[in-house]
């Protein structure tokens, strides 16, 4: 992927707050943000569902729903994504995440258990896992190699945290308890229908003597008739009693374990480390999604993003939601180019039905949404606009509950969009006013287009009214193409060229000899 120029200025390590946000206070609702209105029309809801599949515990959707509002915030994420392109760092972060997930499972299990000594054991394992993975990640990051502001700040924070008296005390307590518990050896004597527990005193291991005595009867590899006993997490009442007696034989060790549990439960782990573990999944999820499509030859790039310059451009851009499906099924993905420069603001897309026009409009919207999340976008040589809001108007089935006809519904929706839009908005219109006459549709479309141009909005307008592409210097005509030798075969390529106004239905009729003239000739014969 192409390079992105990173700002030279680096924050102080102590300033680390989040691996996703330079200034988390700018995005207070990020964790619980709802789905943007445009996601359904752009099929980004499908992409987000795919990205977060298998990562439900991290609750990432809010982050994927929150667009960044500052170009430098986007650069902050670009830098981190580029760091994670390094296989060593990505592998280390995934290993860290797996250990943190194991820690959480142990904590959840400890909370479910009813027997205190077993709770304490599971909790000790959780803290041990945490200390180990944090120390390992700190050591790796302290060796350098990360270039992003976010990763450098987190590395500095982690080194300070691991060296802190708090962490060192926690780790030493865990080590000491594990070492002391490893010295606990005991024997269980069955006495009638009861049992006794005492310390192990070098008693003979009779299992070894029994195996030695019967070794002479072994002939070849005999079938193993032993049944495997289930290793249940929950202890039965006999096991609980044995453990209770063991704890009474080593009261000092188990006393310290109980004190450790009481003092640390609910206190560890560190909040910033937990947040990092959750938020870094945002990058890992998208990187994995990209890799699957890059394997079939599709390209992603880091876009140049501007909040002022409305020039936009992309080469080999594609619909990320459709591409994911086609890549999984072995299908072919068709990419397209687009560009708006100078005073150009509106791409007017016309051409035959089922020719890829709607997919093209979705691609344009998807790329801007993904760019606003600080993520690489589908395509090459990309330059995109940091919008305020994306408004979409795609055809919908009539809603009988609102008692509006199709035309009235179109007018209401378009009026709402234009009343809310600002010069920083992007509007994507897909086949509006199709329920009225061509004359009325043209009249209404020209009025809407005039308003869009006055607001200086970036817009993609898919339409059957090719005259809209010639309304002024802000409009650019793009046409979905067909195979010249076979007009009923769609190429799904949308190219920048003058709309011809040609009726593709007529060209197909000509191909198959179904025009009025040909039919009259055949009937006359």
- 260 shares its domain with 140: yes
Same domain, 357 and 281: no
Q: 106-133 pLDDT, tens per residue?
A: 999 999 998 999 999 999 999 999 999 9
Q: Is 511's pLDDT higher than 70?
A: no
CA distance 430 to 427: 10
Please report whether residue 74 resides in a domain: yes
CA 212 to chain centre: 59
Same domain, 79 and 171: yes
Q: What's residue 358's pLDDT?
A: 95
Nearest Cα to 351, choosing from 515, 487, 512? Answer: 487
Q: What is the pLDDT of residue 120?
A: 95
- Cα distance between residue 369 and residue 305, in whole Å: 12
For residue range 231-251, what is the model confidence (pLDDT) as tens digits?
667 778 888 898 999 999 999
Q: 84-101 burial by CB neighbour count: b if 16+ within 10 A, else e?
A: beeeebbebbeebbebbe
CATH number for the domain harbouring residue 489: 3.40.50.300
Please state, in angstroms and as integers, the Cα–Cα distance from residue 239 to each residue in 44, 118, 246, following that order.
53, 10, 11
Domain end point (choices 253, 271, 295)? 295
Q: Are residues 321 and 272 in the same domain?
A: no
pLDDT digits (tens, 9 = 90+) for 465-497: 888 989 999 999 999 998 877 777 888 999 999
Please say whether the beta carbons of 160 and 168 come within 8 A. no
Q: What is the pLDDT of residues 11-20, one digit of tens each?
A: 444 568 999 9
Q: Are residues 283 and 305 in the same domain?
A: no
Within this chain, do residues 507 and 389 fall inside the same structural domain, yes or no? Answer: yes
Q: Which residues, in sequence order, are CB contacts of 58 under 8 Å at separation 6+?
A: 52, 278, 281
Residue 370 lies in a domain: yes
Same domain, 256 and 357: no
For 458, the token pair is 């970036």
Is 327 inside a domain boundary? yes
When mean pLDDT is compared across 6-15, 169-178, 479-488, the lowest value belongs to 6-15
Same domain, 23 and 110: yes
Whether 413 and 290 map to the same domain: the answer is: no
Q: What's the pLDDT band for 210 if we cut at 50, 70, 90? A: confident
Same domain, 194 and 329: no
With the C-alpha atoms ordered 54, 59, 62, 67, is the resulting torsion angle positive or negative?
negative
Dist CA 456 CA 425 (whole Å) = 9
- Residue among 90, 117, 392, 73 at smallest CA distance from 235: 117
Closest-CA residue to 122 (of 273, 275, 264, 228): 264
Q: Tokens representing 223? A: 């079938």
pLDDT band at 401 (very low <50, low <70, confident <90, very high): low
Residues 173 and 84 in one domain: yes
Domain of residue 240: give its range.
Answer: 1-27+68-201+236-295
Same domain, 132 and 187: yes
* pLDDT over 70, % of the chain: 90
Contacts of 389 (CB under 8 A, 6+ apart): 420, 421, 422, 424, 425, 426
Is 26:74 a contact under the CB 8 Å cutoff? no
Number of domains into which the chain is organized: 2
């Amino acid at each position: 992927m192409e390079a992105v120029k990173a700002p030279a200025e680096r924050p102080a390590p102590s300033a680390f707050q989040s691996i996703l946000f330079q200034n988390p206070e700018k995005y207070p609702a990020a964790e619980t943000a709802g789905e943007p209105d445009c996601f359904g029309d752009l099929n980004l809801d499908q992409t987000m569902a795919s990205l977060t599949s298998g990562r439900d515990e991290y609750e990432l959707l809010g982050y994927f729903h929150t667009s960044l509002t500052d170009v430098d915030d986007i650069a902050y994420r670009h830098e981190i994504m580029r760091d994670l392109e390094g296989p060593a760092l990505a592998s280390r972060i995934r290993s860290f995440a797996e250990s943190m997930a194991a820690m959480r499972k142990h904590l959840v299990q400890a909370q479910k258990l009813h027997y205190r000594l077993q709770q304490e054991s599971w909790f000790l394992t959780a803290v041990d896992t945490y200390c180990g993975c944090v120390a390992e990640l700190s050591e790796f990051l302290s060796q350098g190699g990360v270039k992003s502001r976010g990763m450098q700040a987190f590395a500095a924070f982690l080194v300070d945290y691991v060296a802190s008296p708090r962490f060192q005390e926690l780790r030493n307590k865990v080590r000491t308890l594990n070492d002391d518990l490893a010295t606990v050896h005991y024997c269980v004597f069955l006495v009638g229908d009861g049992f006794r527990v005492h310390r192990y005193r070098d008693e003979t291991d009779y299992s070894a003597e029994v195996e030695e005595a019967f070794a002479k009867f072994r002939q070849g590899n005999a079938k193993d008739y032993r049944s495997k006993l289930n290793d249940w997490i929950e202890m039965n009442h006999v096991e609980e009693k044995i453990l209770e007696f063991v704890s009474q034989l080593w009261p000092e060790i188990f006393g310290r374990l109980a004190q450790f549990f009481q003092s640390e439960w609910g206190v560890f782990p560190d909040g910033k480390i937990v947040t990092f573990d959750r938020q870094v999944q945002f990058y890992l999820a998208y990187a994995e999604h990209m890799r699957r499509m890059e394997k079939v030859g599709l390209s992603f790039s880091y876009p140049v993003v501007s909040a002022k310059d409305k020039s936009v451009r992309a080469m080999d851009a594609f619909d990320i939601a459709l591409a994911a499906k086609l890549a999984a099924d072995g299908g072919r993905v068709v990419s397209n180019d687009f560009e708006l420069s100078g005073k150009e603001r509106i791409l007017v897309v016309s051409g035959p039905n089922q020719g890829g026009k709607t997919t093209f409009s979705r691609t344009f919207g998807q790329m801007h949404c993904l760019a606003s999340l600080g993520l690489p976008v589908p395509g090459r040589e990309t330059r995109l606009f940091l919008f305020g809001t994306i408004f979409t108007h795609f055809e919908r089935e009539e809603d009988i509950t609102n008692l509006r006809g199709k035309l009235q519904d179109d007018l209401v929706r378009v009026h709402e969009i234009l009343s809310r839009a600002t010069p920083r908005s992007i509007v994507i219109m897909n086949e509006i006013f199709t329920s009225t006459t061509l004359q009325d549709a043209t009249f209404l479309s020209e009025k809407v287009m005039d308003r869009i141009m006055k607001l200086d909005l970036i817009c993609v307008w898919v339409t059957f009214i090719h005259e809209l592409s010639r309304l002024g210097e802000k409009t650019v005509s793009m046409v979905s193409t067909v195979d010249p030798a076979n007009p009923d075969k769609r190429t799904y390529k949308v190219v920048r060229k003058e709309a011809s106004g040609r009726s593709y239905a007529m060209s197909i009729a000509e191909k198959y000899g179904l025009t009025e003239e040909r039919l009259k000739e055949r009937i006359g014969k």
